[in-house]
Structure formats: structure tokens, C-alpha cells
Structure 1
Amino acid sequence: MSSTSQTPAPAAAVTPAQPKVRRRRGIRRLNTRDRVVVALLLGIPLLLDLVFVWFPAIGTVLLSFTKWNGVGSLHTKTCQPNMPSILNNGCWYGVQNYHQAATIYPEFWPAVRHNLIWLAVFVLIATPLGMLFAVLIDRGIRGSRMYQSILFLPVMLSLALVGIIWEFMYSQNFGLINTVIGRNGNDNAIDWLGNPHLNLWAVLVEATWRQAGYVMVLYLAGLKAVDPTLREAALMDGANAWQTFWRVIFPVMRPINIVIMVVTVIESLRAFDLVYITNKGINGLELLSVLVTSNIVGETQRVGFGSALGVVLLVISLVPISIFLYQTFRREESR
């Protein structure tokens, strides 16, 4: 009987556990010079923003609760209703400035209405017109460079110069428009800028002429950034040019749309130059920005009341922007 001897397998060599080596990423510590550079790059813009934006904004809100003509110092005392205006200066007035603006100031509500009309014209006419120009130029039509320069030319001009140019166009006796329609220098000449029923719409034509070119440039930048493969895929699926733009290109330009919406609201509510050049914002051209200027630096010099009008203008401008941004970001989060 044969027996097989089993030799035990050699025991595996026991090696001590190797410690885990933690590799630390190389982090370069900032030296003193780097910290100074970073502090300057961040601190200077922040300081300028605080000095020229936030401090004036907060100061305007505080001044809106005072009765102050810009001369003398502000006091903590409350204004006395029966005290003469000269002595009753630099005191806290509460919400009386806002109450007076909404109740007894005759130019307030017409100015609010005109600002809303200005905003509606920019949103419904100037912005679509600028988008149309951008789409046509982006398609590479013949002479697109020339058209782009012509349409962008009003943006390069100051609003004061734009107003002066259109004053010659609207002149009652020697204007180009009255000459073309045959009403130049006679009793039937149209007073485009003097008639309170026409001057607002005449000035809106000037503003739209400039705003459309500005919107065109923004949309051109957005169209150039769109991936060309999206157009090719839409064409392969049988979409026409209209469907390609609205269902493929336009949704991709959502960031540009947000920028244009914000810029449109700001430009429409801060309108000042054109109406002030035309007739100093009176006789049918009342705007909140003009009322703010006339009360703060005009003959009345009611700084507190003018500041209250400025706060109202700020609130009106923030409401549509906040709603639009909230709806936009809410849709993006729901996706």
C-alpha cells in the first residue's frame, strides 16, 4: 500500500502593512506681494462700486425721508408743519414726500405713464426690430458690413447729439419731415415736438432708432456664438429658417435674452437726454428722470422730494427685472 505524503505549502511571507502615502497637491502659498496684488485687483473695483453706486443709492433712500433743500445740515428733529420753509429745513419728513408725489404733485402720474409707454415701445418695437436686423445680417446678405455700420452708427452718437439731429428733422418750418409731406412753412405745418399729443411719440422714434442698433449688436454677438451644427441638424430634420430660429437658435441664446431684457428696462426708465433737449421734459414729455433732475438741481431744489422720486424710479425698474430673472432661473432649475 503506497502512501502519498503531502508536504505542507510554504507559508506566505507576511509583510508588514505599508502605510498609505497621501499625496498632497501642490498648493502655492501666496506671498506678501501676491496678497497685495489680489487686494488691489479686488479692492479697487469694490471701492469704486461702493462709492459711485451703493453709497449714493443708500443716501438717496435716506434723503427721501427728509425735507431738505440742499443747503445747511441735516438734523434729527422732525419737521414742523406750521414752521416756515426756510426754518423747516434739513429735518425728517417721514413718508410725506411719497404721499405728496402720489396725491398733489400733478406731473407724477403722467411721468409714470410715459415711462411705462417708453418701456412698452422698447420691448415691443425696438428689441424685435434689432433682432430682425441681426438675423438678416447674420445670414450674410450682400452688403451686410455696410448695413451693420449704418445701423450701429446712432449708438456711437451721444443722446444729446441724437436729439439735436432729430430736432432738425422735426422742425416745424424747415424740418425734413414737413418738407417731404408738403407742410413746410405754412399754416398746416405740424409741430411734432411742441404738440403734447405728438411729441412723446416723436421722441420715441428717436429713441427706437438708436436702441434698435444697440440690440442688433448684442444679438449679433449671440448668433455668432451659436454652434453651427445646431443649424445643420435642424435643416436635416426638415425645419425651415423660421422654425430653425425660433425652436433651435432662440432658446440657445437665453443668456443674451436676459442681458437684452435687463438693458432694455434700464435704458427705457433712465431716459433723460432726448426729452430734456426737446422741451426740458414738460408739455407732454414728463418722465420720472426729468422730474428728479428738476426737483434736485432745478429752481425749487427740493432734494428730499426729488430723492423720493428717484426711489420710485428705482423700484419701478427693479420690479420687471426681478420678475423676469426669477421666471428665467426658475425654468432652468425645473429642467
Structure 2
Amino acid sequence: MTEVELAPRGTPKRRRTRRLSGWDRVVITLMAGVPTLLTVALVWLPALASVGLSFSSWSGYGSVSSIQWVGLENYKNIFTIYPEFPPAIEHNLEWLAVFFCLPAPFGLFLAVQLDKRIRFSRLYQSILFLPVVLSLALIGFMTELIFSPTQGLINNLTGHTHGHVTDWLGNPHLNIWAVMLMACWRQTGYVMVLFLAGLKSVDPSLKEAASLDGANGRQIFRHVTWPSLRPINVVVLVVTVIESLRAFDIVYVINKGTDGLELLSVLVTDNIIGEASRIGFGSALATILLVISLAFIVPYLVSVFRKDSRP
């Protein structure tokens, strides 16, 4: 009989490591390098160039040598003698607050309900997500149809009470809220899908264990589901800030972002590609918009990553 040597118990098995071939390295380099180069060329370089141009005065015509460096003069003019800036910054902050208070919690509520595997949940998901497919420009046209003072849906449903017609879009104290309501309608479906994807990734065994311990539905959501949604919360935060600050199409379709619908994105567009064509001034506005967005996103991301890195 031949003796067979057996490896002692507990001896770890050696895993074969596959070495990358030259072709594999080429493919990986292309897959990682091409998107990186495109991002740097189309996003980071223009952003850095915009920050640099914010300290200059340039009409956009002529050679680069015609650029005149003015230091902080553009920023000084924005905060002192530019009357459109205060209402624009106020409206952007209102837009951000409303997006946090309405689409985010309501999207989470819808996601929790759809995660219960009710009948026709797929159909409900499709219906609720349908507004996300529509562009903000189209949402702007729909806003005009709904809130038009004479032929709009709202005034016709109310029957023009006592002959009084509410000019929802012409009144600078009302139009911003009408537009934000339609924007929230579109944003809710987007947030719902994000939270729904996060709920699908929650370990069902954790919910079952909490249920066996006597926890009710609210306690399970608070102590099990909500902590598991931390990565999705980061995504929702970033998406909410970006969507609220980049709002442009919906207000530009209605009245080109004037008479109560001033936003920073509209001011940037009017100064860079408008009749004035003040590249430096518009770049300063764009830089302020970038700083505001980073002021909300960066601290939260840092705190979240610090918690995740703790043992």
C-alpha cells in the first residue's frame, strides 16, 4: 500500500493568484484611464479655469491676451452693487430647504411602502418614477399649463372664485412656490428609487431578529433599517444639493428667471452667454455657486467617512 501524505488540519489552502497578462493591463488602463481623462478635461479643467477667470475681466471676445486681471473686484461688485444677487441666493436656499423638507422624506416614505411587496408595486414604481424621465424644461411647460391665470388647471378647478383670478406665475411672491412644487413632484420619484435600492440591500435576517426580540415596525426601521441606509443617505444628500442648485430649465422656460424666479444658475447664464457677455463676472457667480454646494456636501461626507473608518 502506498502512503498518502495528508495535510494537517487547519492548514490554510494556497490560493492560486492569476497574473494579469499584457492585454488585461491594457484593457484595465483604458477602462480607468479614458473616463478619468474625460472627467479631468471636461469637468475639472473647465471648473478650475472658471475659478481663475472669476478674478478677471473678459468679454469672451478676442485673444487670451485681452484678459484683464481685476482681483476680487467681481466678487465685491456681486455683493455690493448687483441687485439680482440677493434674491437669487435667497431663492436657491429656499429651493434647497424645500427639497430637504418635501421630496426627501416623502420619497423615503414611498420607498418604505413599496418595499413591503404590496400588489402592483412594480406598476406604482413606474408611475411614481415617470416624472423623473421628463426634462425640467417640459416640467416648466406643464407648470404654465397648470398655473396659468386664465386657462390653468388650478384656477379652473376653483372656478375663479368671486371673479378673482390668481396670477400664480406673474406674482413674484407666489411663482417661486408654484415652480418649486412642480420641481418637488419630479424630485420625489428620483429620491424614492434611491431609497428603494438601499432598502433592497438591507439584510432581512436583521429585521427578523429584531422582530423576534419584540421590536415593532417603527423600532425596526429606527434601529435596523435607517442605520443601514447611511450610504444611500449620502447619495440622497448630494443629489438633493446638486438638483436644487442647478435648477435652471424650469424657471427659464416660464419667464427667463425674472420677476421672482431669480436663481444663481440663471445669473451665470445671463452674464456668460447673454447680451452682456461678462465672462469674468459670470465665472465669479459660478464659483460662488460651487462654494455653496461644497459647503453643504463636504462637511457631511467627511463626518460620514470618519464614522465608517472607525473600528
TM-score, length of structure 1 as denominator length: 0.85
2:262 aligned partner, one-letter code: E
User: Could you list the runs of 5+ residues in structure 2 that have no partner in the other structure?
Assistant: 1-13
Pick one of 67, 76, 94 that aligns with 1:99.
Answer: 76
Checking the alignment, whether the CA contact within 8 Å between 1:70 and 1:303 is kept in structure 2 is: yes
CA distance in 1, matches of 2:223, 2:131: 31
Please report the RMSD computed on the Cα atoms of aligned residues, expressed in angstroms. 1.8
2:32 aligned partner, one-letter code: L
2:31 aligned partner, one-letter code: L
- Tell me what 2:11 maps to: none
Measure how far apart 1:328 and its partner are: 1.6
The answer as to 2:154 corresponding to 1:177 is yes
1:214 aligned partner, one-letter code: Y
Higher relative contact order (CA 8 A, sep 6+): 2
2:108 aligned partner, one-letter code: M
- Tell me what 2:8 maps to: none
1:71 aligned partner, one-letter code: Y
CA distance in 1, matches of 2:188, 2:17: 52
Deviation track 1:283-326 (CA, whole Å, cap 9, x = no partner) reads 11111001000000111111110000000000000011011112
Comparing 250-259 with 304-313, greater Cα deviation is found at 250-259
CA distance in 2, matches of 1:130, 1:61: 35
Measure how far apart 1:167 and its partner are: 1.2
- Tell me what 1:168 maps to: 145
| Aligned positions, number | 298
Distance change in 2, residues 1:36/1:206 (3 Å): same
Please show how residues 111-126 of structure 1 align to structure 2 within 5 Å.
111-126=88-103
Q: Percent identity?
A: 57
CA distance in 2, matches of 1:267, 1:24: 47
CA distance in 1, matches of 2:20, 2:141: 58
CA distance in 2, matches of 1:34, 1:156: 37
- Tell me what 2:212 maps to: 236
Checking the alignment, whether the CA contact within 8 Å between 1:74 and 1:91 is kept in structure 2 is: no
TM-score, length of structure 2 as denominator length: 0.91
The answer as to 2:62 corresponding to 1:62 is no
Measure how far apart 1:143 and its partner are: 3.0
Deviation track 1:238-259 (CA, whole Å, cap 9, x = no partner) reads 1111111121101011111111
CA distance in 2, matches of 1:255, 1:227: 15
CA distance in 1, matches of 2:27, 2:234: 33
Measure how far apart 1:27 and its partner are: 6.0
Distance change in 2, residues 1:35/1:230 (3 Å): closer
Measure how far apart 1:24 and its partner are: 11
